[in-house]
């Protein structure tokens, strides 16, 4: 499979990375090169093989249902590029 | 007495306790060394005051009889670890200025044990790279140079290249690294030091900027196996804040260190003999085999048939996970925000991420996004995870025949900065020997073995069974004792 | 069974196919993957942990209670419990989603197929039911909240809800009318509230539905569906089905085609509109969340969850009919809400104890009093059962006073009115106001004798065959006794005195 410029732009949009057509054009052969290389995995017969779910045997430790966190708005907002009235502020969203 | 900055972790710890020197003297000496090594660009920020603060606390604790196991030892911390009140960037522009209000579990454990922090070590951006050329804050330069009389700046390896360079230059006694596909071991090999990647889940990932969650592991880097063992003891342990953390006791690895391998079997995986591998690396590998025999081990040839597919599987799985892990860098809650005139929310995301991520990071996010996208998921991601199952099985089969595997750490010695930066796949191939054990979550250590003709270090790798860090340390020690590696980069910086 | 509901189009009749995805907030103190509180109505960004704000290096750890409640709910929906499930990441960018992905379950949900029976006519609970299939139930994180009206050029982000645990319950497209859709949600809500896994509070957003609607010619191929998001009342769900079905029929008949898309309901205009803001890229790139291990449950865990389930509404309704002898209607009314059934059962236990009788013996008067008297009064007062000024203890006491003859029906009504006002115990009221009914034959006989003497002419007429006058004598006697005489005793004594 090989990607065209349009696909590169679509992927860039999915990943929310602003990209000009020229940049996409430049990236295209690089991506195709890498994709072509990883596609050698297709050679491996994986019929009947389960995809790996967990690398080292382990089991889920579940948390108790207790409030142990929160109540730290100053910390939460400390690094915000823009915070007002206790909220993060972003350009207006029209739904 | 030797120069303080030439001492390792154990020597500082013991000398401090014997009152040969104070913690403050140690911290002062390393602070000076750090300040004098700007040419290496090992640090993104230095924190001399933090080092002194911890040293003073260690001095008082010693007097009070409450000194922790790492009291008096100053360390470098890779900038992937979030450190409370100290900028933590993962070497990216997108996190520039980000000052965590929290301390990662692992760095917190080290500080808790009495260690001090000399600063935040430079690295490949978001730990993506094998040469330390992807940092937003500039390349890290290795203290090593080729013996050709030239002064080509050499790569310290990556992604923990600030760490490896600083340790090799003796401006820190030891430091933390992280390893996703070889990011501790390959830079250790490039700079003639030791680096240990523990079993996946040994060290908590809480507070470490995530690259690929199913692979990321923190580990120690230092100039000796023993120092790595000491540090890992302080770093490891179950953390209820990390669901993938292993609820296993942390053994006293240092105490049980032994280079006697009598009764142990060492596997030599035949698939690790790759094309175009420099003859010197092959020779060192054979030499390593002899050293382990000398330590009492029996050598067996084993087969890990899916080795060849580890790297391509890795370059699907790691970018896929990264594409999601890095989605949180969006300019809303922290870090960079780019807001072009008239931009809406989605434009802001795209502009912020375009400006904040470096080229390699974008490349991997793009690959990761693509392999997960509709219609391609099974062909790429699911297939890669199936191959990963086969790779895990390969190791399981090998363990029926041997206790450890011995391999070279990297397929080449260090290269010059810029030599591979135009060829991503050639760069990725640096991790050909380290990635399989990463995919299988196994502990592995890199130990320096010797120098090549150019005067550059070469390393050997020992891979062990899950949770057998002790065995890996012991085999590493057996190599270290016999290699007697004492070469050191001549100071030019 | 085929629904009767049809849309009349220019080209004939159309039927509607409805499937619902209900998001129900799991009742828990802490969030699904962090220890921050789930409390409603807190100051912005105060119920937020570093994990909920997706700070670098933060990791999720699952709240076991949320898993347990999802399993209990699955069991109550007669559904398959999957002993092996897993969380996946659903990737998209939005300001209410700090991680850039929602942790959800696509490939291996914790609960698989189930079904519930929904009565087609609320008034006729023993009438026809329709079985609505449940496709799956999975656990996922809620998003934060965006405020658009606080600043002219900016939206504000509040992450208090970010990471709150939700169950998404996906139905089969088994509903064929707005009424069926509403009945399904009503029944589902009732079950969740019985189980205690969700408070069902639709105004606060603890339950909301994504309404999938398509239309087709009767018996024809399934049409393209649209999904209207986050509809938060029964009435709106019905409106969405009606307007969306109408829109689709008109569109198709005008030669257009229905686009598979996400829509938004505007309750003010009563219509749905396309939600372009979320339309651009429906490629969520789901993959297993590598920060979390698979959720592996044991048979014992499931058995414990099953054992912890209360009696569910259908079973309870049948028991009320069969063991307590209640009418189908009363049984349905009393079991529709867990809260009502709990109240009724407390009343029943206390009534039986007060009257030293079996629950079956006291059930009918208790049910009648609760449904006609108390519900009527609460309705008048605009109060819920949990705000009732009359407690079940006092209700039981009142019923016992009627049963033992202390109060007549009329007196009981009077006492009840005072109870509503004061919240006092009925015995106290009877004592204070002297409302006790008298069965003292001597006193009544004296009064009767006086009345007969004063109305000799009427006595003559009565004895001459004018039977109807009996009522007159009863009335006079009761009046003279200020309404407190036991009417049965009055009847008896009057007959004796008049008929000899
Ligand atoms: Mg939905
Ligand atoms: Zn959902």
**Do residues C134 and C115 make contact, with C-beta atoms less than 8 angstroms apart?**
yes
Please state the rounded mean pLDDT for residues B432-450. 98
Helix B359-372 vs helix A5-14: crossing angle, to nearest 10? 90
Task: Using the predicted structure, report yes or no on whether residue B464 has a pLDDT greater than 80.
Answer: yes
Dihedral sign from CA coordinates of B123, B124, B125, B127: negative
Q: Other C-beta atoms within 10 Å of B344: how many?
A: 14
Split at pLDDT 50, 70, 90, the class of C103 is very high
* Close Cβ partners of B115 (under 8 Å, ≥ 6 residues apart): B54, B70, B71, B73, B74, B75, B234
Name C37's bridge partners.
Answer: C30
**Do residues C111 and C80 make contact, with C-beta atoms less than 8 angstroms apart?**
yes
B-chain residues near C100 (CB < 8 A): 324, 326-328, 330
Cα-flanking dihedrals φ and ψ of residue B357, to 5°? -95, 145
User: For residue range C270-283, what is the model confidence (pLDDT) as tens digits?
Assistant: 889 988 655 455 79
User: For residue range B123-139, what is the model confidence (pLDDT) as tens digits?
Assistant: 999 999 999 999 999 99
Give, in order, the Cα–Cα distances in Å from C267 to each of B362, C143, C243, C272. Answer: 43, 22, 11, 9
A-chain residues near C263 (CB < 8 A): none
B78 in catalytic set: yes
Q: Do A52 and B385 touch (CB under 8 A)?
A: yes
User: For residue range C178-230, what is the model confidence (pLDDT) as tens digits?
Assistant: 999 999 999 999 999 999 999 999 988 999 999 999 999 998 999 999 999 99
Q: Do A52 and B389 touch (CB under 8 A)?
A: yes
A-chain residues near C60 (CB < 8 A): none
CA distance C414 to B392: 81
Task: Using the predicted structure, report yes or no on whether residue B82 has a pLDDT greater than 90.
Answer: yes
B265 in catalytic set: no
**Do residues C117 and C314 make contact, with C-beta atoms less than 8 angstroms apart?**
yes
**Do residues B491 and B463 make contact, with C-beta atoms less than 8 angstroms apart?**
no
B226 in catalytic set: no
Q: Does C245 touch chain B (CB under 8 A)?
A: no
Does C484 or B479 have the greater pLDDT score?
B479
Pairing of strands B74-78, B116-121: parallel
B-chain residues near C89 (CB < 8 A): 324
Give the distance (Å) from ligand 1 centre to CA of residue C140: 12
B142, B164, B183, B438: the active-site residue:
B183
C-chain residues near B388 (CB < 8 A): none
Q: Which residue numbers in chain A have pLDDT < 50?
A: none
Q: Does C498 touch chain B (CB under 8 A)?
A: no
Neighboring chains of A (3 or more beta-carbon pairs < 8 A): B, C
Chain B: give the shortest CA distance to residue C58, in Å.
6
Domain ranges of chain C: 7-304, 311-433, 441-499
Split at pLDDT 50, 70, 90, the class of B81 is very high
Task: Using the predicted structure, report yes or no on whether residue B380 has a pLDDT greater than 70.
Answer: yes
Q: What is the mean pLDDT of chain C?
A: 93
Domain ranges of chain A: 5-43
Task: Using the predicted structure, report yes or no on whether residue C156 has a pLDDT greater than 80.
Answer: yes
If contacts are CB pairs under 8 Å, which of residues 32-71 in chain A contact chain B?
33-35, 37-44, 46, 49-52, 55-58, 60-61, 63
Task: Using the predicted structure, report yes or no on whether residue C263 has a pLDDT greater than 70.
Answer: yes
Facing residue for C154 by CB, picked from A58, A90, A94: A90
Task: Using the predicted structure, report yes or no on whether residue C22 has a pLDDT greater than 90.
Answer: yes
B92, B107, B142, B159: the active-site residue:
B159
In this structure, which CATH number among 1.10.510.10, 3.40.190.10, 2.40.40.20, 1.10.10.410 belongs to the domain C441-499? 1.10.10.410
Q: Do C100 and B100 touch (CB under 8 A)?
A: no
Split at pLDDT 50, 70, 90, the class of C483 is confident
H-helix or E-strand spanning residue B317? helix B307-325
| H-only helix segments in A1-95 | 5-14, 21-38, 73-77
Say what the pLDDT of residue C2 is.
54
Please state the rounded mean pLDDT for residues B23-31. 98
End-to-end CA distance of chain C: 67
The Cα angle at residue A9 between residues A5 and A14, in degrees rounded to 5: 145
Chain C: give the shortest CA distance to residue B227, in Å.
26
Give the distance (Å) from ligand 1 centre to CA of residue B61: 58
Interface test with C, best of B78, B81, B330, B377 (most C CBs within 10 A): B330
ipTM of the predicted assembly exceeds 0.90: yes
Q: Do B208 and C57 touch (CB under 8 A)?
A: yes
Give, in order, the Cα–Cα distances in Å from C323 to each of C312, C326, C343. Answer: 16, 8, 18
Chain centroid, CA C38 distance in Å? 22
C-chain residues near B381 (CB < 8 A): 287
Nearest to B206 by CA among B103, B74, B298, B330: B103
Full DSSP string of B93-123: STTTT---SS--HHHHHHHHTT-EEEEEEP-
- Place domain B4-261 in its CATH homologous superfamily: Amidase signature (AS) domain (3.90.1300.10)
H-helix or E-strand spanning residue B167? helix B161-168
Nearest to B423 by CA among B12, B90, B130: B130
User: For residue range C35-78, what is the model confidence (pLDDT) as tens digits?
Assistant: 999 999 999 999 999 999 999 999 999 999 999 999 999 999 99
User: For residue range C327-363, what is the model confidence (pLDDT) as tens digits?
Assistant: 999 999 999 999 999 999 999 999 999 999 999 999 9
Q: What is the mean pLDDT of chain B?
A: 97
Q: Residue B154 gets which letter from DSSP?
A: B
Give the distance (Å) from ligand 2 centre to CA of residue B368: 24
Task: Using the predicted structure, report yes or no on whether residue B422 has a pLDDT greater than 90.
Answer: no
Q: Does C46 touch chain A (CB under 8 A)?
A: yes
**Do residues A12 and B342 make contact, with C-beta atoms less than 8 angstroms apart?**
no
Q: Does B346 touch chain A (CB under 8 A)?
A: yes
Split at pLDDT 50, 70, 90, the class of C467 is confident
**Do residues B126 and B209 make contact, with C-beta atoms less than 8 angstroms apart?**
yes
3-class SS of residue B460 = strand
Facing residue for A41 by CB, picked from B99, B199, B312: B312
**Do residues B439 and B182 make contact, with C-beta atoms less than 8 angstroms apart?**
no
Q: Does C55 touch chain B (CB under 8 A)?
A: yes
If contacts are CB pairs under 8 Å, which of residues 35-94 in chain A contact chain C?
53-54, 58-73, 75-77, 82, 84-94
User: For residue range B85-125, what is the model confidence (pLDDT) as tens digits?
Assistant: 999 999 999 999 999 999 999 999 999 999 999 999 999 99
Q: Do C36 and A94 touch (CB under 8 A)?
A: no
- Please count the helices (runs of H) and the strands (runs of E) in chain A: 3, 2
B78, B109, B226, B465: the active-site residue:
B78
- Which residue of chain C has the CA closest to A84? C156
3-state SS record for chain C:
CCCCCCEEECCEEEEEEEEEEEEEECCCCECCCCCEECCCCCCCCCCCCCCCCCCCCCCCCCEHHHHHHHHHHHHHCCCCECCEECCEEEECCCCCCCCCEEEECCCCCCECCEEEEEECCCCCCCCCEEEEEEEEEEEEECCCEEECCCCCCEEEEECCCCCCEEEEEEECCCECCHHHHHHHHHHHHHHHHHHCCCCCCCCCCCEEEEEEEEEECCCCCCCCCEEEEEECCHHHHHHHHHHHHHHHHHHHHCCCCCCCCEEEEECCCCEEEECHHHCCCCCCCCEECCCCCCEECCHHHHHHHHHCCCCCHHHHHHHHHHHHCCCHHHHHHHHCCHHHHHHHHHHHHHHHHHHCCCHHHHHHHHHHHHHHHHHHHHHHHCCCHHHCCCCHHHHHHHHHHHHCCCCCHHHHHHHHHHHHHHCCCHHHHHHHHCCCCECCHHHHHHHHHHHHHHCHHHHHHHHCCCCCHHHHHHHHHHHHCCCCECHHHHHHHHHHHHHC
Facing residue for A87 by CB, picked from C28, C44, C52: C44
Please state the rounded mean pLDDT for residues B292-308. 98
**Do residues C264 and C278 make contact, with C-beta atoms less than 8 angstroms apart?**
no
Say what the pLDDT of residue A95 is.
67
Task: Using the predicted structure, report yes or no on whether residue B331 has a pLDDT greater than 90.
Answer: yes
A-chain residues near B389 (CB < 8 A): 46, 49-52
Domain ranges of chain B: 4-261
Q: Other C-beta atoms within 10 Å of B456: how many?
A: 24
Say what the pLDDT of residue A2 is.
87
CATH architecture of A5-43: Orthogonal Bundle (1.10)
**Do residues B200 and B217 make contact, with C-beta atoms less than 8 angstroms apart?**
yes
What's the token pair of residue B214? 């199913």
Cα-flanking dihedrals φ and ψ of residue B361, to 5°? -65, -45
Split at pLDDT 50, 70, 90, the class of C3 is low
Give the distance (Å) from ligand 2 centre to CA of residue C426: 51
Chain B: give the shortest CA distance to residue C101, in Å.
7
User: For residue range C391-413, what is the model confidence (pLDDT) as tens digits?
Assistant: 999 999 999 999 988 888 888 89
Name C89's bridge partners.
Answer: C103, C287
User: For residue range B249-280, what is the model confidence (pLDDT) as tens digits?
Assistant: 999 999 999 999 999 999 999 999 988 889 99
What's the token pair of residue B250? 């942390």
**Do residues C98 and C50 make contact, with C-beta atoms less than 8 angstroms apart?**
no
Say what the pLDDT of residue C465 is.
87
Say what the pLDDT of residue C442 is.
83
Cα-flanking dihedrals φ and ψ of residue C59, to 5°? -130, 145
């Amino acid at each position: 499979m090989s990607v065209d410029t349009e696909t590169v732009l679509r992927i860039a949009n999915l990943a929310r990375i602003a990209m000009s057509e020229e940049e996409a054009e430049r990236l295209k052969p690089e991506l195709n090169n890498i994709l072509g290389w990883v596609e050698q995995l297709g050679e491996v017969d994986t019929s009947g093989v389960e995809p790996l779910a967990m690398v080292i045997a382990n089991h889920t430790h579940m948390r108790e249902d207790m409030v142990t966190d929160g109540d730290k708005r100053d910390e939460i907002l400390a690094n915000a590029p823009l915070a007002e009235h206790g909220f993060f502020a972003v350009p207006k969203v029209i739904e | 007495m030797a120069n303080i900055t030439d001492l390792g972790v154990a020597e500082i710890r013991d000398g401090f306790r014997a009152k040969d020197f104070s913690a403050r003297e140690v911290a002062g000496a390393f602070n000076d060394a750090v300040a004098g090594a700007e040419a290496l660009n090992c640090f993104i920020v230095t924190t001399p005051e933090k080092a002194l603060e911890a040293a003073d606390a260690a001095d008082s604790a010693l007097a009070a009889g409450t000194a922790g196991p790492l009291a008096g030892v100053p360390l470098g911390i890779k900038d992937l670890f979030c450190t409370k009140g100290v900028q933590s960037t993962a070497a990216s522009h997108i996190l520039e200025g980000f000052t965590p209000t929290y301390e990662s579990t692992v760095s917190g454990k080290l500080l808790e044990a009495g260690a001090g922090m000399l600063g935040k070590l430079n690295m490949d951006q978001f730990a993506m790279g094998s040469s330390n050329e992807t940092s937003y804050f500039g390349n890290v330069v290795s203290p090593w140079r080729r013996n050709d009389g030239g002064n080509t700046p050499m790569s310290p390896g990556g992604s923990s290249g600030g760490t490896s360079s600083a340790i090799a230059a003796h401006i820190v006694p030891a430091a933390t690294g992280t390893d996703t596909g070889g990011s501790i071991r390959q830079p250790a090999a490039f700079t003639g030091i030791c680096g240990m990647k523990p079993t996946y889940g040994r060290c908590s990932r809480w507070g470490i900027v995530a690259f690929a969650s199913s692979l990321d592991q923190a580990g120690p880097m230092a100039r000796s196996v023993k120092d790595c063992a000491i540090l890992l003891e302080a770093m490891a342990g179950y953390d209820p804040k990390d669901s993938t953390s292993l609820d296993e006791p942390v053994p006293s690895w240092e105490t049980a260190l032994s280079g006697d391998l009598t009764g142990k079997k060492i596997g030599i995986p035949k698939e690790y003999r790759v094309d175009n591998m420099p003859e010197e690396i092959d020779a060192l590998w054979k030499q390593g085999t002899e050293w382990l025999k000398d330590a009492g081990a029996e050598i067996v040839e084993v087969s890990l048939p899916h080795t060849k597919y580890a790297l391509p599987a890795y370059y699907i799985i790691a970018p896929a996970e990264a594409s999601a892990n890095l989605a949180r860098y969006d300019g809303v809650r922290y870090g960079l925000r780019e807001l072009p005139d008239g931009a809406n929310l989605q434009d802001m995301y795209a502009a912020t991420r375009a400006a904040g991520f470096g080229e390699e990071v974008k490349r991997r996010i793009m690959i990761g996004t693509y392999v997960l996208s509709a219609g391609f998921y099974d062909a790429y991601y699911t297939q890669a995870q199936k191959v990963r199952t086969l790779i895990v099985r390969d190791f399981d089969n090998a363990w029926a025949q041997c206790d450890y595997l011995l391999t070279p750490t990297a397929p080449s010695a260090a290269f010059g900065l810029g030599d591979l930066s135009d060829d991503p796949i050639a760069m990725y191939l640096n991790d050909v020997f380290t990635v399989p054990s990463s995919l299988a979550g196994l502990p592995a250590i890199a130990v320096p073995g010797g120098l090549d003709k150019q005067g550059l270090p070469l390393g050997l790798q020992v891979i062990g069974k899950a949770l057998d860090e002790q065995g890996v340390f012991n085999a590493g020690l057996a190599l270290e004792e016999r290699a007697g590696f004492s070469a050191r980069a001549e100071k030019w910086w | 069974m085929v629904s009767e509901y049809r849309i009349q189009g220019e080209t004939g009749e159309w039927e509607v196919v409805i499937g619902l995805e209900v998001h129900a907030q799991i009742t828990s103190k802490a969030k699904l993957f962090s220890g921050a509180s789930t409390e409603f109505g807190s100051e912005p960004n105060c119920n937020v942990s570093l994990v909920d704000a997706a700070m670098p290096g933060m990791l999720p750890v699952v709240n076991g209670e949320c898993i347990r409640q999802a399993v209990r709910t699955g069991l109550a929906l007669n559904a398959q419990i999957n002993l092996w499930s897993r969380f996946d990441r659903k990737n998209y960018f939005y300001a209410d989603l700090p991680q850039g992905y929602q942790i959800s379950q696509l490939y291996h949900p914790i609960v698989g197929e189930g079904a519930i029976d929904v009565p087609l006519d609320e008034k006729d609970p023993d009438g026809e039911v329709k079985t609505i299939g449940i496709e799956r139930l999975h656990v996922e994180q809620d998003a934060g909240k965006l405020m658009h009206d606080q600043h002219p050029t900016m939206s504000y982000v509040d992450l208090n809800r970010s990471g709150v645990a939700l169950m998404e319950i996906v139905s089969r497209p088994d509903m064929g009318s707005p009424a069926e859709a509403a009945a399904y949600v009503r029944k589902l809500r009732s079950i969740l509230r019985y189980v205690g896994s969700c408070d069902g509070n639709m105004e606060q957003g603890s339950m909301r539905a994504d309404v999938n609607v398509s239309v087709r010619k009767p018996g024809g191929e399934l049409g393209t569906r649209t999904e209207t998001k986050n509809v938060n009342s029964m009435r709106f769900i019905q409106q969405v089905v009606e307007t969306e079905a109408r829109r689709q029929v008109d569109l198709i008949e005008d030669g257009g085609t229905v686009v598979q898309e996400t829509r938004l309901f505007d309750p003010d205009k009563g219509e749905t509109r396309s939600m372009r803001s979320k339309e651009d890229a429906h490629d969520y790139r789901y993959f297993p969340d590598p920060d979390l291990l698979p959720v592996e449950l044991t048979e014992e865990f499931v058995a414990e969850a099953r054992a912890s389930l209360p009696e569910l509404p259908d079973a309870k309704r049948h028991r009320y009919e069969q063991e307590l002898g209640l009418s189908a209607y009363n049984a349905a009314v009393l079991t529709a809400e867990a809260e009502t059934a709990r109240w009724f059962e407390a009343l029943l236990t206390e009534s039986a104890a007060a009257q030293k009788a079996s629950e079956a013996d006291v059930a009918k008067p208790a049910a009648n009093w609760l449904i006609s008297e108390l519900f009527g009064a609460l309705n008048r007062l605009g109060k819920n059962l949990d705000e009732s000024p009359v407690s079940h203890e006092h209700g039981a006491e009142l019923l016992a006073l009627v049963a033992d003859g202390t109060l007549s029906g009329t007196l009981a009504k009077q006492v009840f009115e005072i109870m509503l006002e004061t919240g006092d115990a009925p015995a106290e009221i009877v004592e204070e106001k002297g409302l006790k009914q008298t069965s003292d034959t001597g006193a009544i006989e004296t009064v009767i004798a006086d009345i007969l003497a004063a109305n000799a002419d009427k006595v003559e007429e009565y004895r001459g065959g004018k039977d109807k006058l009996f009522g007159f004598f009863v009335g006079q006697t009761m009046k003279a006794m200020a309404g407190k005489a036991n009417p049965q005793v009055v009847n008896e004594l009057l007959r004796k005195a008049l008929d000899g």
